[in-house]
Amino acid sequence: MSAFQYKAAELYNWLVDNENIVIVDVRNKKEFAKFKVEGPRPCEMLNIPYFDFMEFEEESIAKIPPGSRVRIVCAKEASAKYVADIFSKNGFNDVGYLQGGINTWGNLLVPGLVTDPNGYQLYQFIRPGKGSCSYGLVHDGEMMLFDPSRNLEFYLEFAKSRNCRITRTFETHLQADYIAGSRIISEETGAEFLANEADFKGAKITYTALTDGAEYTFSSDGPRVRAMFTPGHTPGSTSFLVDDTFLLSGDTVFIKSVGRPDLGGKAEEWATMLFATLQKMQQLDGGLTVLPAHFIGWDEADANLLFACPLREAIAGNQAIYDLRTPEEFTVFIKKHMRPQPEEYARIRLVNANLVQVDEDEQNTLDIGKNECAASAYKQVKAA
Ligand SMILES: [Fe+2]
């Protein structure tokens, strides 16, 4: 049977459903080490570079048990198709290759309904390839977005499928780890772009500056969105309180760890700000549901595969960080866990402030890979 093409969303579903598949990633070892498919459940995955199949076809095929359901992944698609055909020729009859290559996995967004109370819906759009979450708040034909990625088509299609128009798009901060979508979404739909001046001053973007404590509403009642300035990860980091129930915490409070304050090269200054913010967060109602902009791993997801937990649990789960009593102690902790940031981050910031324009290929290169926004890896938090 000839090999078939599959989409990133199908791969995600197979991984969620625990389908018995074997992923064969045929990119080179360096590319594989930098970024690979990670799903909510463990899955068998092998990295066998494409050239191995060209040079040592028999040995390479022999690494996969006969009868396996093989799903090939490559950089762009062509080499996965080539390898898929080799598998088919060798008697494997359930072989697929990823349409569009690894970037389509990197850009995949998976919508999950967080809640549907009182006539509004709050969606979490999980980006498994980045370890990030954007959000959509829908009420009466309007949708507000928070931290959308550059997958414009997804958001437009989603709005269409819910019969709503995108009216506002908020950024929790000037992102460094991925190309933000608010600017293109705003240009495409006329949605108002809202962001914090402390991060966006100087950006070549038409935006409305957020005000601390201000409320943003839909045309006809609906849930209120309150901006809460929570500086530290960046000076302009902002969280949003939705309906006094949900805390969209950006890169400030995570389920595991907290946002790192050293990405701007001013670790001490920003760590001091973050310390004060985390003190403030601990005064909030512990029953608020934290909805973070990032996660480190799928073990943070709940039973519905959503990244959400009560604020008191986010604090309790990171007690080693929240127990630090002074800005000085906190800064020492941050410095101890500091690690270099990916070199692309400086350029991504410029792209997100629209101070440089890059073509689609460069966007793909800049935008690929897991985020590096947490102050510490989980193991380090536990050990601290
Ligand atoms: Fe960030």
Look-up of token digits 């209120």: 224
> Quick one: 109-379 is in which CATH superfamily?
Ribonuclease Z/Hydroxyacylglutathione hydrolase-like (3.60.15.10)
> For 298-336, how does the pLDDT look when each residue is reduced to its tens digit (9 = 90+)?
999 999 999 999 999 999 999 999 999 999 999 999 998
Helices 182-189, 152-161: crossing angle, 10 deg rounding: 50
Residues of the chain with CATH 3.60.15.10: 109-379
What's the half-sphere exposure (Cβ side, CA atoms, 13 Å) at 236? Answer: 18
- For the chain, the C-alpha Rg in angstroms (whole number) is 22
DSSP letters for 305-353 = S---EEHHHHHHTTHHHHT--SHHHHHHHHHHH--PPPTTHHHHHHHHT
> Quick one: 4-104 is in which CATH superfamily?
Rhodanese-like domain (3.40.250.10)
Residue 4 C-alpha to ligand 1 middle, in angstroms? Answer: 38
Per the residue annotation, which of 74, 133, 309, 373 is the catalytic one?
74
For residue 139, is pLDDT > 70?
Answer: yes
Is residue 237 a contact partner of residue 294, using CB atoms and an 8 Å limit? no
For residue 384, is pLDDT > 50?
Answer: no
Mean pLDDT to the nearest integer, 60-84: 96
At 148 the pLDDT is 98
At 86 the pLDDT is 96
- Please give the Cα distance from 38 to 297 (Å, whole number): 9
- Please give the Cα distance from 77 to 86 (Å, whole number): 14
Residue 258 C-alpha to ligand 1 middle, in angstroms? Answer: 11
Per the prediction, the chain carries an average pLDDT of: 94
Residue 146 C-alpha to ligand 1 middle, in angstroms? Answer: 13
Q: Per-residue confidence at 76, pLDDT binned at 50, 70, 90? A: very high
Q: Which of 5-9, 38-42, 79-83, 206-210 has the lowest average pLDDT?
A: 38-42
Q: Is 71 helix (H, G, I), strand (E, B) or coil?
A: strand
Residue 340 C-alpha to ligand 1 middle, in angstroms? Answer: 14
Q: How many Cβ atoms sit within 10 Å of the Cβ of residue 332?
A: 13
DSSP character at residue 299 = G
Residue 251 C-alpha to ligand 1 middle, in angstroms? Answer: 5
Residue 173 C-alpha to ligand 1 middle, in angstroms? Answer: 7
At 377 the pLDDT is 52
Residue 295 C-alpha to ligand 1 middle, in angstroms? Answer: 11
Q: Per-residue confidence at 117, pLDDT binned at 50, 70, 90? A: confident
At 265 the pLDDT is 85
Mean pLDDT to the nearest integer, 82-111: 96
Bridge partners, 193 (sequence order): 169
Is residue 67 a contact partner of residue 21, using CB atoms and an 8 Å limit? no
For residue 383, is pLDDT > 90?
Answer: no
* Amino acid type, 256: K
As a whole-number percent, the residues of the chain with pLDDT over 90 amount to 86
Instruction: Note if 309 is an active site residue.
Output: no
At 30 the pLDDT is 93
For residue 264, is pLDDT > 70?
Answer: yes
> For 341-368, how does the pLDDT look when each residue is reduced to its tens digit (9 = 90+)?
888 899 999 999 999 999 998 998 898 8
Residue 193 C-alpha to ligand 1 middle, in angstroms? Answer: 18
Residues of the chain with CATH 3.40.250.10: 4-104
For residue 381, is pLDDT > 60?
Answer: no
The predicted model scores a pTM of: 0.94
Residue 227 C-alpha to ligand 1 middle, in angstroms? Answer: 17
Q: How many Cβ atoms sit within 10 Å of the Cβ of residue 36?
A: 18
Distances (CA, A) of 366 to 34, 177, 354, 358: 13, 8, 14, 10
